[in-house]
Amino acid sequence: SEFAESLGCEECTMCCNAYGDCYPQEDTDIQALGFDNYEHFTWIFFASITAISFAMAVISFAVDKYRKRNSGALTATHVQHSKADKDTKYALEMIGDDSVYQFFLGRSWVGWIIFLSTISSQMWMLFLFVQGAEID
């Protein structure tokens, strides 16, 4: 922009720039939903995704512990392991053997660190993009 601060006109219904492009002075869709701006929405969205993922991991862990403790028959356990192996192979095929997201399915701490650092950097880049694209 050629100006240090953008022109603000609270009483105006339409804002026009030097090129003749005009924009209505109304709330964005995000503001209509009750958020201050896209940055606020992004923080709430990522926090929700993180909380839901954490809750699902805890519930999954608890259910797995419960099933292991209460599985009586050896045959049922063998069938469960066979099905789990098939599910893991299918998931790896869908994700791709050459993808960093395959570490999400593993039990290696190094793999999880790689996965989490990749996700974190992608979320940070997305956040920077949202922050830079925010219209004041």
Q: pLDDT-based confidence at 24, cuts 50/70/90?
A: confident
Each residue of 95-125: pLDDT tens digit?
666 776 677 666 788 888 888 888 889 888 9
Q: How far apart are CA 26 and CA 46, in angstroms?
A: 26
Each residue of 42-101: pLDDT tens digit?
889 889 998 998 899 899 888 888 877 776 554 555 666 677 777 777 776 776 667 766
Q: How many CB atoms lie within 10 A of CB 112?
A: 13
59 HSE (CA, 13 A, CB side):
6
pLDDT of 52 reads: 93
15 backbone dihedrals φ, ψ, rounded to 5°: -115, 135
Could you tell me the pTM of the whole model? 0.50
Q: How many CB atoms lie within 10 A of CB 18?
A: 8
